[in-house]
Structure 1
Amino acid sequence: MLSFFRSIKKRWVLTLLNIVGYGVGVAACILVLHNILYETSYDKFNKGHENIYRVQLDHFYSDVYQNSTAISFYPIGPELQKRYPEVLDFTRVQIVNNATVEYEENRFLEENVFTTDSSFFRMFSLDLVKGSFSNLNRLDIFMSESLARKYFGEEDPINKMITVLGRSCEIKGVYKDLPPTTHLQHDMLVVRPNFERMAENWAGYAYHTYLLLEPGVDIESFEAKLQAFSDEFSQVSDEQSSVEYSWKMDLMKLSDIHLRSDVDFEHQANGNMTNIYILVIVAAFVLLISGFNYVSLTNSINAERIGDVFVRKLHGASKFNVLRKYAIESLILNFSGIALAIILTLIFSRFAETQALDFNFSIDWSNPNYYFLLGGVILLSFIFSGLIPALVFTSLNPLKYLKGEYFRSKKNKNFGKALSMLQFAISFVLISGALTINRQLNYINQVDLGFENKDVVVLNTPRMGYEDSRSTLNKFRSDLMASSLIENVGFSEFIPGVKYTRDVSVRLQDDPAENAIFCYAQTITSQYLNVYGVELKAGRAFDDDRDADIESIMINETLAKELYTGDYNNLLNKTVVLPWHEEYRTFKIVGIVEDYHHESIKNAVQPCVFVSLRNDGLAYNTSIKASPGKNVREVAQLIERTYKANFPDRVLDLFYADTFYKQQFESDIQFANLIELFALLAILMSGVGLLGLASNETRKRTREVAIRKVNGAGMREITKLFVLHFLKQIGVTMLIALPVSLYIADSWLDNFATRVDIGIWFFMYPILITILISALSMGHHVFKVALVNPVRILKDER
């Protein structure tokens, strides 16, 4: 044991770097494992979650696929339960965005408000603190603990009356706040009355429908049975519409929604299973590099002590004694690295908690998966750094050892080279991946979106019909425009960054119904486009004072190109047919709007039609463009004063359009930060590995260097000898890693409709970074061996 510590003391810097690299690698893998467990646990706290499925629809117009939605028809749940015994229960959920909630003097806008059937409480698990789920009536309310404290403090809220969206509702229960691992985040549930008028409506879809299936149902066989259901009621939907419309129903397992569902009208932005796979691979790469370093350096330390093994065997030591000695020494190093990993994990978890980072790193150490990971790492490290080397050393032939044949073994050299080349390859893949992700996100931030949202302030005006409130809204606009702080004000149903929730089919009046084009609809005032700097390619915008413009529309370039293959200027003043408020009506095209990325730039620009808010539109949003160079705080204060003067009974909900739009990319930015962190770790660990490799390589070739110097070789020739040796390994590795990196990067970029091109930067930067790391890691040892005194070396060997 003393020889072991003497050996460590002799090479304490490399040993310390190795243990630190090993610990950091394991800590990183623990955090990735936590992230994976967290992401894959969504909605699994619901009892019977494995039997709950959400209905999703694939929509077709003239047999051409258009889109998929998480929402479905109002009667689809009861009809499925009536026809199929496999369906034990159903519930429907509808999100109410920015619901005005009032109690006495308290008035707030609440985001997470759902209206739902009473069956919701049978299907989903809520931990009820107060109240009861029995004897429920229409407009009964349940709310979370945090929301109850917000309105009632320490008072008992049960049976109290509260106003939601202008309706008086009774509170029947309070439930514990939901865990973050659910796609159904709600703070208030309102029991919805039955809508008899919707019972036979198979044309309008607006409800998230969930089914509770009988345990043990073969989902593939059941979905096959549902094909006949889809065919039958698609005909009903087709009859209720004036275009050739059909749909196909799919079922999405509740626990799969977060990671595997990416359709229109999701409750929230879901995760991405591809990112999970990438994180697993990256974490495995980092663990491999740290493991290679650990095994390589540990074996290097042990290799210097083969003489000690030989002496022990001469004095009668058994193989078991030698194995036990090496096992204990290996475990000391192993547990040192694991202990450091746990300490680093605890520190980082605490830091993430105190800094309120977006990532959840509160690790539940009661989960056995963490111990399986640590146990597996310890076992593999012990086998490759302790057990196998010990077996090799104890079986050495003393004569071969004395002749030096062990150190000249090609197998040992080739194994070391293979490990170092694999480290190079992994580092190169991670570096190129991090560069690609970073470059793509920078590209997204810099690309022309087709609109300008800087200095635009948005107010949420919930559930406000434009015609009913037109005079009040126009006075509010006039009051704002009277100030030099404000450049323009416009009203709209949606703003950039909000996913369209209104889809329609459009066709030229003279075209057959099967030529109808699926597109999205947006209701706006004439000033909306000016607020966001969206240009007109042809025609004109609405005129709010022209009554005829109630029946006029504008369309974007994408829709214009689909409606007419020639010069789309010829579409001006043409009449189109589109469904509007449950009937098909005609509109005249007066303008063609330049394409802009209303939704995420990850998606292609969708066909869109713009209808005047005067045509039964909802003015959900007020967009206010501040004058250039004006103080943001002064603008916000002006808006608040003006809003309260015009809407004294409404709650002000103010936010900035550019910040809101960027929220779409938060998960991508977080993912990029993780990948960059892992790439940095891989670079550092590869550097440590190269440091150890250079140390071993130069130590083994010291005698060769001495002989070369005796024969007249200078420092330049010696340095060139080692540089070419290492560059050869790097070159071979690059040839292997480049196509792998290119394939991975190109596959990831395919997720973006607008993407950066892979150019020379993709090849040059990783190569230069890898060569720089190699030079920094190996330079010290190369120059050290080039400066050796050959006489002393050869004299010592004699």
Structure 2
Amino acid sequence: MNGLHKIQSGANVFKNYFIIALRTVQRNKLYSLINITGLAIGMAACFFIMQYAAFELSYDTFHSNAEQLYRLTNDRYQNGELTQHGVITYPSVPKQMAADYPEVLNFTRVIQFDPLYLRRGEDGFEERVVFADSAFFSMFSFPLLAGNASTALARPHSILLSETAAKKYYGIDWQERNVLGTTFSIDNRFDFAVTGVFQDVPANSHCSFDFLASYTTLGMEFGPEAEDSWTNSNFMAYLQLASGVDASALEQKFVGFSERYFRGTEVTNSLERFYLQPLTDIHLYSDYEYETWVHGSSSAVWGLLGIAGFILMIAWGNYINLTTARSFERAKEVAVRKVVGARKGQLFKQFFMESVLINAAGFCLALAIVEALQPRFRDALGIRFADDFFATNFGVIFLTILLFGTLLTGFYPAMLNASHRVGSALGNKMSPTSAGHKIRKAMVVFQFGLSFALIAGTYTAYSQLDFMMQKDLGINIEQTLVVDGPRLTSWDSTYFDHIGSIKAELASLPTIDYATTSQRLPGNRMGRIFNIQRKAGTSDTRYTSSQLGVDYQFFEAFKMEIIAGRGFRRSDHDLDFNAVRSIVLNKKAASHFGYASPEKAIGSVLQYWDKEWQVVGVVADHHQQSLRVPVEPIVFMPLYSSNQYFFFKLNTDDLQQTIADVGKTYRQFFPGNAFNYFFLDTSFNQQYLADLQFGKLISLFAFLGVLLACLGLFGLASFMATQKIKEIGVRKVLGATVAGVVSLLAGQFIKLIVLANVLAWPLAWFVLEKWLQRFAYRIDLGVGIFIATALSTVLVALLTVSYQSIRAALANPVEALRSE
């Protein structure tokens, strides 16, 4: 009974604390609203960011063998310089590694081609097909809904579909149909038998595909180059290591592997080095070339997590600032409670309960905000959030942070409030302590220092993005309609004639200035050729260069400046790479190959294995890819390709009619081929989607951080105005003007904001300079950005405190001095 009595007594005490805390919150509506709203915004922002980070960091963790899976990367050196830092390698390499090293349990090679035309009956679409070795399903956890995982990729001309693809081609009732064994025609040349249907690839997989075909098909159709080549580097490779194997130790053995099979530089005339990249690092930690799938940015994720921490600190800082500022207001309440017998510990619990209540209210409001806005954030920002967030490590961390923050924000104010002395409080001798005043000043400086950094980061991110999107690319991509080349037309001499005929017919339209073709889109990485030599050179130096097949009107159509020699002529063209005799270099390539000037390159001959190419022209450099990537040396070839693109330079605003005219002509020349089109500038700017997304995210959370800082400043200004009401009354009686009073109240805050800017400037500069180093071409981080940021924060702070300052300055001094 005694134990039960203690429990009931404790419950009653807790209930009493709760009721008093609730009444206190209701009695001080303005400060309670500021505190709860600020905490809710801070917690919600932190919640959003941590959900996003949890999803980004979860990539590929769903594979049961994730810790044993690695992607093979291949660095290539020529003349002591790194010429390729890529994810593609030779098909023989993983196969031989599995044979040489018992640490390697399994391997699979993976390659995704340009869209292939898949037809089943009357239904046909262009699809991206991935080819993989038979071990693929034993290494990766992509469950099959139909078929046998161990044999599905064993035979040539086998193909598996995702559940979504099965519904697309067989209907939503595909499971009731006999899907296995049915066939697909690919490019009207190959028949593939369906051997399985797999669950849709999860959104947090670094690779995504709807069609998976057997790698053995490539060996059958294209010969040993696909299986055993040591020189054809076009394939990705994944290795599964035995449990407990030290990947770093195995990497050390790869040096010997290179010497053994590449014999220094004898096989490829390049020095080959191989490394292992953990599967779970691929999405966020990839700076490699030739990535097949879009990947994320670790710096963006960790940067946003840092911002989440800043926002939460600002929110909790507001609470501590306002609560401690109002501490001496509650001194009489504390004194009266002590007089009637309340102990310090009881008072501490009472004030701590208020803190818990406000934090809990803020948390509940934050959950409501997240629930209401999450779908809109997902759509507007193009980001994904982790499902079952509170079941993840990040969910546990988030709750732990909230618990710690609640304890921290509750402990200090509660201890301060409970420590007031009875005599001082009842004798009207209470005033804010010097130490407390300094702490509040420090908190304002800290909050607006963070706000300065967030605003400067937003300015910088958008300035860099604008710079990249507005910079002269050296190639005119505006008003350019792009049409995919025909996939189903035989690649022969008639194809060559068709290309010339359709270009001529469409270029004759008044709405089209030029019609031209190219192997690659501006915005896409080019292929590379290795082992180029100068025929008349005095050394045996070999070079690597990017290569791009274009037609004779390409340079003129895209307004690319020819700085030496000439461009291509129609007579230079050929279908066959081996028949090419004339080439054009860009300025970077002319320098790369050792020519003293572009003019010196004209007429010279370059050797590539047994082929010889004469340099007939040099063009100015252009940006083939985003400004993250340096300009590369390029060898342009007058070459038509089966994977080409048509480019039509338009001079009209009537785009729909022009597209219809182009489509009609295209179908006449290439019947049966899909007419797929898009605009080049839109396609090119897709490279900047991740940067644009990051800009939106940082601007949103920077706004929230500044909003929270201003919310706290507003509450603090309101409190300070109330505390100085008698001083203001005396000053006004003695002749002080409204402007003078406003200057007095606002000035003390503006000084703190200026100090915050000065202190935050060096740190912000250091962080932003580091971020900008990721770009090959970037803005200069001048003082203009920081001056604009400083003026913005000062202006925002001034507007925030002006309302309370003006209100206090306009108050009747008689009311303030009535009690004196």
- Equivalent pair of 1:81/1:88 in contact (CA under 8 Å): yes
Which secondary structure state, in structure 1, belongs to the residue aligned with residue 230 of structure 2? coil
Aligned to 1:686: 709
Aligned mates of 1:283, 1:115 — CA distance in 2:
41
| Stretch moving more, 736-745 or 154-163 | 154-163
- 1:456 deviates by 1.2
Residues 667-678 of structure 1 mapped to structure 2, 5 A cutoff: 667-678=690-701
Structure 2 residue 568 is the aligned partner of structure 1 residue 551: no
Aligned to 1:597: 623
- Equivalent pair of 1:100/1:462 in contact (CA under 8 Å): no
Residues 364-383 of structure 1 mapped to structure 2, 5 A cutoff: 364-369=388-393, 371-383=395-407
Q: For the structure 1 residues 297 and 753, does the alpha-carbon distance in structure 2 shift closer, same or farther, using more than 3 Å as the test?
A: same
- Equivalent pair of 1:91/1:119 in contact (CA under 8 Å): yes
Moved over 6 A (4+): none
Which secondary structure state, in structure 1, belongs to the residue aligned with residue 570 of structure 2? coil
- 1:719 deviates by 3.1
Specify every segment of 5 or more residues in structure 1 that has no aligned partner in the other structure, as ranges: none
- Equivalent pair of 1:327/1:382 in contact (CA under 8 Å): no
Aligned mates of 2:729, 2:391 — CA distance in 1:
57
Structure 2 residue 266 is the aligned partner of structure 1 residue 239: yes
Q: Deviations over 1:38-58 (max 9, x none)?
A: 111111112201111111111
Aligned to 1:98: 115
- Equivalent pair of 1:456/1:531 in contact (CA under 8 Å): no
Match of 2:158 among 130, 140, 155: 140
Structure 2 residue 605 is the aligned partner of structure 1 residue 575: yes
Aligned mates of 2:540, 2:300 — CA distance in 1:
39
Which secondary structure state, in structure 2, belongs to the residue aligned with residue 221 of structure 1? helix
Aligned mates of 1:681, 1:381 — CA distance in 2:
19
Aligned mates of 2:800, 2:42 — CA distance in 1:
19
- Residue type at the aligned position of 2:631: V
| Stretch moving more, 715-724 or 756-765 | 715-724
Aligned to 1:273: 298
Aligned to 2:590: 560
Which secondary structure state, in structure 1, belongs to the residue aligned with residue 239 of structure 2? strand
Aligned to 1:128: 144
Aligned mates of 2:57, 2:573 — CA distance in 1:
54
- Residue type at the aligned position of 1:159: G
Structure 2 residue 204 is the aligned partner of structure 1 residue 177: no
RMSD in angstroms over aligned alpha carbons? 2.4
Q: For the structure 1 residues 468 and 69, does the alpha-carbon distance in structure 2 shift closer, same or farther, using more than 3 Å as the test?
A: farther
Match of 1:220 among 212, 229, 248: 248
- Residue type at the aligned position of 2:65: G
Aligned to 1:316: 341
- Equivalent pair of 2:348/2:417 in contact (CA under 8 Å): no
Match of 2:355 among 320, 326, 330: 330
Q: Deviations over 1:278-333 (max 9, x none)?
A: 11111111111111112323444554222212111111123343233323322221
Aligned mates of 2:814, 2:374 — CA distance in 1:
56
- Residue type at the aligned position of 2:717: A
Aligned mates of 1:433, 1:357 — CA distance in 2:
18
Q: For the structure 1 residues 619 and 190, does the alpha-carbon distance in structure 2 shift closer, same or farther, using more than 3 Å as the test?
A: closer
Match of 1:54 among 71, 93, 96: 71
Residues 459-478 of structure 1 mapped to structure 2, 5 A cutoff: 459-461=483-485, 465=491, 469-478=495-504
Which secondary structure state, in structure 1, belongs to the residue aligned with residue 522 of structure 2? coil
Aligned mates of 1:619, 1:460 — CA distance in 2:
8
Q: Deviations over 1:140-168 (max 9, x none)?
A: 11111111121222343210011123211
Structure 2 residue 668 is the aligned partner of structure 1 residue 650: no
Q: For the structure 1 residues 681 and 459, does the alpha-carbon distance in structure 2 shift closer, same or farther, using more than 3 Å as the test?
A: same
Percentage of identical aligned residues: 27
Aligned to 2:509: 483
Specify every segment of 5 or more residues in structure 2 that has no aligned partner in the other structure, as ranges: 1-17
- Residue type at the aligned position of 2:607: V
- Residue type at the aligned position of 1:551: R
Aligned mates of 1:161, 1:6 — CA distance in 2:
74
Aligned mates of 2:432, 2:356 — CA distance in 1:
29
- 1:673 deviates by 0.2
- 1:665 deviates by 0.4
Aligned mates of 1:388, 1:63 — CA distance in 2:
61
Aligned mates of 1:344, 1:792 — CA distance in 2:
41
Match of 2:182 among 136, 146, 160: 160
| Stretch moving more, 424-433 or 706-715 | 706-715
| Stretch moving more, 7-16 or 179-188 | 7-16
TM-score of the superposed pair, with normalisation by structure 1? 0.93
| Stretch moving more, 263-272 or 724-733 | 724-733
| Stretch moving more, 332-341 or 131-140 | 131-140
- Equivalent pair of 1:523/1:618 in contact (CA under 8 Å): no
Residues 423-502 of structure 1 mapped to structure 2, 5 A cutoff: 423-461=447-485, 465=491, 469-502=495-528
- Equivalent pair of 2:52/2:386 in contact (CA under 8 Å): no
- Equivalent pair of 1:613/1:619 in contact (CA under 8 Å): no
- 1:768 deviates by 1.2
Residues 63-74 of structure 1 mapped to structure 2, 5 A cutoff: 63-74=80-91
TM-score of the superposed pair, with normalisation by structure 2? 0.91
- 1:189 deviates by 0.9
- Equivalent pair of 1:295/1:384 in contact (CA under 8 Å): no
Which secondary structure state, in structure 2, belongs to the residue aligned with residue 126 of structure 1? coil
Residues 1-16 of structure 1 mapped to structure 2, 5 A cutoff: 8=25, 11-16=28-33
- 1:433 deviates by 0.6
Aligned mates of 1:527, 1:597 — CA distance in 2:
19
Residues 169-208 of structure 1 mapped to structure 2, 5 A cutoff: 169-193=192-216, 194=219, 195-197=223-225, 200-208=228-236
Q: For the structure 1 residues 72 and 404, does the alpha-carbon distance in structure 2 shift closer, same or farther, using more than 3 Å as the test?
A: farther
